[in-house]
Amino acid sequence: MLKPGSEKLAPGSSVVSIGVYDGVHLGHRHTLRQVIDQARSSGRQAVVATFDQHPAFVVRPEHAPRLLCDLDQRLELLEEVGVDVTAVISFDAARAAEEPEAFISSVLVEQLGASRVVVGEDFRFGAKRRGDVALLRAQGVVHGFDVVGVVLDTNGGEPVSSTRIRRHLAEGKVAEAAVLLGRVHELRGPVLHGDGRGGPELGCPTANVHVDPVMAIPGVGIYAGWYRDDELGAMPVAISVGRRPTFYESSDPLIEAHLIDFDGDLYGRSARVSFLTRIRDEVRFDSVDALIEQMQRDVEAARRMCEAHGSQAPGY
């Protein structure tokens, strides 16, 4: 990782792409493949300039989207696909007001040494979103880099986009989201103490994973997926994203993961929960016994689904 301002790449030494790259989904990877291939063929470094936070949190916070991955995940995924250097740029009010020509000169040319800039054909940046592919090309003539505008990747006749993936997740369509992500959707957070009901009362202990509220959480429901932490490999889980209507009139959705065939203390661990497929909607049961019976069926369904899709277990 490179922080612009503290380090500089040699002039003309890189092929650079710019963007938030939230999710590093298949549409992003379509562009990144061109960055990496063109860098390799010319003996240069493949570089991505991204931001420490989504620009919407600064320019329109009331409409900021839920995130598909946090910064650490984004950096891991960019490295996984073959990016040599990721430059993390601070995005604040001053950056939002910066003219695109100034960004090109100070970041792309002076700090990242761009010989070529590769972006999606609809890419916009800079104050009032004035920067686009045409402006990049004009500035490339001035600064000595060329520009490639990449046609957007599509799936099912629609562009693969972070917005489309967020919509799938909000609707609980985690399998459809995984197709566009190129991986199962993963959320991270510490395992915290809950109300203590899962094990003693329901016979189904769960890891209560606290996720940052800015993250894109799947819609309320029951899912099959995997749990991981620094000590455990990928373990199959039945996951509840729910408000626990059998016990409470209303509550904020919680992520509770029951690790199948596991008995141990997970409190305080940094957990990773991945969503393979939806099992059912969350419903209110008339009795605790009815809930327990359904939970047992959910666990067996999750077991079967994970066994059938073992090759999709998260590996990063």
Domains of the chain: 14-158 (3.40.50.620), 185-312 (2.40.30.30)
**For the chain, what is the mean pLDDT?**
90
Q: At what angle are helices 162-170 and 174-181 packed, to 10 degrees?
A: 160
pLDDT for 313 beyond 80: no
Residues of the chain above pLDDT 90, percent: 76
Of the candidate ranges 40-49, 242-251, 307-316, the one whose mean pLDDT is the lowest: 242-251
User: pLDDT category, 294, cuts 50, 70, 90?
Assistant: confident
- Distance, CA of 194 to CA of 198 (rounded, Å): 9
Q: Using a CB cutoff of 8 Å and minimum separation of 24, what contacts does 31-38 make?
A: 31/118, 31/119, 31/120, 31/150, 31/153, 32/78, 32/81, 32/82, 32/83, 33/81, 34/118, 34/148, 34/150, 35/83, 35/118, 36/81, 36/82, 36/83, 38/116, 38/118, 38/148
Q: Would you say 257 and 209 are in contact if contact means Cβ atoms under 8 Å apart?
A: yes
pLDDT of amino acid 57 = 96
Concerning whether 231 is annotated as a catalytic residue, the answer is: no
- Distance, CA of 269 to CA of 266 (rounded, Å): 6
Which of the residues 98, 110, 256, 293 is marked catalytic?
256
**pTM above threshold 0.85:** yes
Which residues partner with 148 through β-bridges? 118
pLDDT for 245 beyond 50: no
Q: Which residue has the higher pLDDT, 37 or 6?
A: 37
pLDDT of amino acid 202 = 56
First-to-last C-alpha distance (Å) of the chain: 18
Mean pLDDT along residues 294-298: 90
Mean pLDDT along residues 55-65: 95
pLDDT of amino acid 22 = 97
pLDDT of amino acid 316 = 36
Of the candidate ranges 5-9, 203-207, 254-258, 292-296, the one whose mean pLDDT is the lowest: 5-9
pLDDT in tens, 103-158: 999 999 999 999 999 999 999 999 999 999 999 999 999 999 999 999 988 888 88
pLDDT for 163 beyond 50: yes
pLDDT for 215 beyond 60: yes
Mean pLDDT along residues 66-81: 96
Mean pLDDT along residues 226-253: 79
pLDDT of amino acid 199 = 47
Q: Strand order in 114-120's β-sheet?
A: 85-89, 45-51, 14-18, 114-120, 146-150
Residues 6+ apart with CB under 8 A from 6: none
pLDDT in tens, 190-212: 999 866 545 455 568 889 999 99
Mean pLDDT along residues 29-56: 97
pLDDT of amino acid 203 = 63
pLDDT of amino acid 144 = 97
pLDDT of amino acid 157 = 86
Q: Would you say 96 and 55 are in contact if contact means Cβ atoms under 8 Å apart?
A: yes
- Distance, CA of 240 to CA of 229 (rounded, Å): 18
